[in-house]
Amino acid sequence: MSGTPVIQHVAIIGLGLLGGSIGLAIAKHAPGIATTGYDTDPATREKARERELVGTVLDSAAEAVAAADLVILCVPVGAMGFAAEAICDALPAGAIISDVGSSKQSVADALKAALPDHCIIPAHPVAGTEQSGPDAGFAELFEHRWCILTPADDAPTEAVDALSRFWTGLGSNVELMGAEHHDLVLAVTSHIPHLIAYTIVGTASDLEDVTRSEVIKYSAGGFRDFTRIAASDPTMWRDVFLTNKDAVLEMLGRFTEDLTALQRAIRRGDGDALHDLFTKTRAIRRSIIEQGQDDARPDFGRSDHSGDH
């Protein structure tokens, strides 16, 4: 590539929450960029046309990418390889291939295997809600959120710059990091919290001496937040845990050790240890608010759209 490529046509494969939001965000922030889209579900394609999530909804992935200079795969991480194979023969030679998956090393490997001759720059917009599907998308999803790019060492600088500018144009803050490091960071900040949420909500629903109606009726704020996270798309999160297995298991091991230490402190009546831990975690919460990554209001500012993936 000579000079920084200009992104003029974006193809979005997968028109759910993230894909639909990208299309709407482009229409809002960069209306000069043409958009095409495809989804394997005919009902989703119809809803995408109705909501005008992209400029043109096509009935095949190959048609959608035929004229694109940026292709964004918005499918579950376990389906990335299949989605890439479906567009392989139709991709323009100079197109940048990216994605929105929550785990990056597995996606990079799958895309490289399916598209060995193309420019691949995996990406992860750290944004989302517990909602899914074509009705869930909205143009402001990525504003003031981080988008992490994990280019390989040999990725063309010009293409990385172009993709960075694209996401910045949608309102995101862009960060570059290695795929393996990303997976470790997200295992701590996103994947393990989701795993805990799924577990505690499941435990509550299985308690024999507490009825489900009581769990729902008397839910305090903490449990309500867990249920919000645990309502996230099951297919997506199944794939995240399977594809980021090593990092998740490493962080889960550390979490289990810390949980055991907390259990020991409670059993021994060690109030100092508990107070020290809770003081440290409270400081982390304040830092998150100070950096603008959440809201200090009692409802966390979540009366509208919020969340992370």
Which CATH number belongs to the domain containing residue 80 in this structure? 3.40.50.720
Whether 248 is covered by a domain: the verdict is: yes
Number of domains in the chain: 2
* Terminal-residue alpha carbon distance, the chain: 32
In terms of residue numbers, what domain contains 54? Answer: 9-178
Query: Which DSSP category does 56 fall into?
Result: E
Pairing state of beta strands 146-149 and 123-125?
antiparallel
Whether 242 is covered by a domain: the verdict is: yes
Q: Judge residue 10's burial from the number of C-beta atoms within 10 Å of its C-beta, 0-12 exposed, 13-18 middle, 19 or more buried.
A: buried
Separation between Cα atoms, residue 32 and residue 262, nearest integer Å: 55
Residue among 187, 191, 179 nearest 107 (CA): 179
- Of 145, 160, 178, which marks where a domain is finished? 178
* 55 in Cβ contact with 34 (< 8 Å): yes
Position 35 confidence tier, pLDDT thresholds 50, 70, 90: very high
CA angle, residues 147, 152, 158, in degrees to nearest 5: 75
Position 308 confidence tier, pLDDT thresholds 50, 70, 90: low
Tokens at 32, concatenated: 């000069």
Which of residues 133 and 304 earns the better pLDDT score?
A: 133
DSSP string of 230-269, one letter each residue: HTS-HHHHHHHHHHTHHHHHHHHHHHHHHHHHHHHHHHHT
Residues 173 and 25 placed together within one structural domain of the fold? yes
Whether 3 is covered by a domain: the verdict is: no
Does pLDDT of 216 surpass 90?
A: no
Residue among 14, 135, 138, 12 nearest 75 (CA): 14
Residues 108 and 33 placed together within one structural domain of the fold? yes
Helices assigned H by DSSP within 61-143: 61-65, 80-87, 105-114
Whether 296 is covered by a domain: the verdict is: no
Among all chains, which residue has been given the structure tokens 């409802």?
299
* pLDDT number for residue 306: 42
Averaged pLDDT, 162-176: 96
- Neighbouring CB atoms inside 10 A of 23's CB total 28
Position 304 confidence tier, pLDDT thresholds 50, 70, 90: very low
